[in-house]
Structure 1
Amino acid sequence: MSKHPFKIEICVEGIDGLVAAQQAGADRVELCASLFEGGLTPSMGVIREALRVATIPFHVIVRPRGGDFLYSELEFRSMLEDVIALREIGVAGVVIGCLTPEGAIDELRTKALVDAARPMKVTCHRAFDMTRDYRTALESLIRTGVDRVLTSGQRDTALEGSAILKEVVALADGRIIIMGCGALDVGNIAQVRRETGVDEMHFAALKTIKSGMEFRNPHVGMGGTALEREYEITLTDVDAVRATIAAARAAS
């Protein structure tokens, strides 16, 4: 039996995603930009607008780039500045993750980010899933004062990682919140909750719609994706979020 109240967090891209998640009954949002890269820090304009319209707490990811979680000194300093700025404008929490080259939690940097964040809540994201030893990594996060860890049990999906998720919950023993994630949807979220006993759950429910642009220049692309991708928009699916939340809560 979890020692923490069960909550569901929705991972969203931008302000429209936040509004959709709270309309669908989420307890909390993780606010990101560029989910295509696994989530990057959104702009300050987005965050300020989120503070204006939010009716539920949201946590902001502090991740300066895609790729790994081994940051240069300048990148780390930028993360510290982001955390301080988010604290000063009244954000509820931040989502971070720093690793050493050997695949361990970078305790020195993590502790510095936690200290800079207070009184905000601090989540360690799936950098945890990229560590060499999840048992050691869990104790590192507890020592640094992180409030919760987001994990799929070091596998691509929560279903595949369910045995490790269950073990991590037992190892944590209430000392840190374990938030399960990894391809959760209306069809599997109840099973994962029952099998693992995670304290909280996290998912994104996205749909793609066509751009409203009528004119499209076929000769120019703005990024490294296929040209047609530039005329698609990814949104949080309110109905899918609502149905998945209901399935998770029914498993209690």
Structure 2
Amino acid sequence: MDYLLEICAFNLPSAMIAQQAGADRIELCASPEEGGVTPSPGVIRLAREKLRIALYPIIRPRGGDFLYSEEEFRVMLRDIEYCKQVGCNGVVIGMLSPDGSVDQARCARLVETAYPLGVTFHRAFDWAANPFEALETIIQMGCERILTSGQRPTADEGAGLIDQLVREADDRIVIMPGSGVRSANIVALAEKTGASEFHTSARLWQASSMEYVNACMKEAQDMVMAGEEEIRKIKERLLSLES
């Protein structure tokens, strides 16, 4: 089996680190404190110019739930159109209805707008009321993969459901575990779930390089960065499974 590693990069330097460390694809996001929202047009454009590997910006207009207004939906359509214009390889989407089902009509329109770009359905899936119904809906819409932690906080905790989803998908769509994926558990996750693609931010906190700090502000200025060594370790362990 060939294994792929996707890195969730919360800024352009992290995307570059991930590429250098051997990542196969970047999910480009902003605002890690909100779980990832759509990056600015400038970040998306510059990332596309600098990256050789596949680039999938997240299309998420805000943090919080995945129940969006018509205005937010129009923003998502515009953001997808921009990603197409600058040559991204795909986008990452997800919308739910109030009852916890996938918002099929509007998600299908996002997929149609993205064509011929690839589409990943993100962890809105983990908030769906029925994961197997959601799986079939997402397949019907034409998405190429689902990012999921198995409807638990981490992929380790949700490994049982992820394994069931991989089996139920039966190669009709990729099931990609994410959340808490690290070099320490990647081999066990691959063995437990049968998945072939994995997602991680491999995040670490980088201290500010500012020499002057106003202590009265009482706020840390550290930022989330991708850990190059951790990405290399994950990639090496996936490659060891292929041999």
Query: Is TM more than 0.5 here?
Result: yes
Query: Which amino acid letter does the alignment assign opposite residue 156 of structure 1?
Result: P
Paired residue for 1:228, among 215, 219, 235? 219
The list of structure 1 runs, each at least 4 consecutive aligned residues, that deviate by more than 3 angstroms after superposition, is none
Gaps of 5+ in 1: 221-226
User: Residues 23-172 of structure 1: matches in 2 within 5 Å?
Assistant: 23-172=20-169
Give ranges in structure 2 of 5+ residues lacking alignment: none
1:232-247 alignment, distance < 5 Å? 232-247=222-237
Cα distance, 1:219 vs. partner? 4.2
> Which residue of 2 is the match for residue 20 of structure 1?
17
Secondary structure at the aligned position of 1:150 is classed as strand
Q: CA deviation at 1:54?
A: 0.3
**How far apart are the structure 1 equivalents of 2:169 and 2:128?**
16
Q: Is the 8 Å Cα contact of residues 190 and 250 (structure 1) preserved in structure 2?
A: no
In the alignment, which residue of structure 2 is the partner of 1:182? 179
> Structure 2 CA distance, aligned partners of 1:247 and 1:37?
30
Q: CA deviation at 1:186?
A: 1.0
8 A Cα contact 2:102 2:128, kept in partner: yes
Please tell me whether the aligned partners of residues 29 and 38 of structure 2 are also in contact (alpha carbons under 8 angstroms): yes
Give 1:218 shift.
Answer: 3.8
What is the TM-score with the length of structure 1 in the denominator?
0.93
Name which of structure 1's ranges 34-43 and 114-123 shifts more when overlaid on structure 2.
34-43
Q: Residue type matched to 1:99 in 2?
A: L
User: For 1:124 and 1:152, how far apart are their aligned partners in 2?
Assistant: 12
Letter in 2 for 1:206: R
Residues 45-72 of structure 1, C-alpha deviations (whole Å, 9 max, x = no match)? 1111111110111100000100000001
**Distance in 1, Cα, partners of 2:206 & 2:81:** 36
2:233 alignment partner AA: A
Aligned-residue CA RMSD (Å): 1.2
Rounded to whole Å, the distance in 1 between the matches of 2:31 and 2:6 is: 18
Contact 2:29 2:57 in 1 (8 A): yes
Structure 2 counterpart SS, 1:228: coil
> Is contact 1:194–1:251 with CA below 8 Å preserved after alignment?
no
2:206 matched to 1:209?
yes
- Residue by residue over 1:186-208, the C-alpha shift from the partner in whole angstroms, topping out at 9 and shown as x without a partner, is 11010000111013111111111
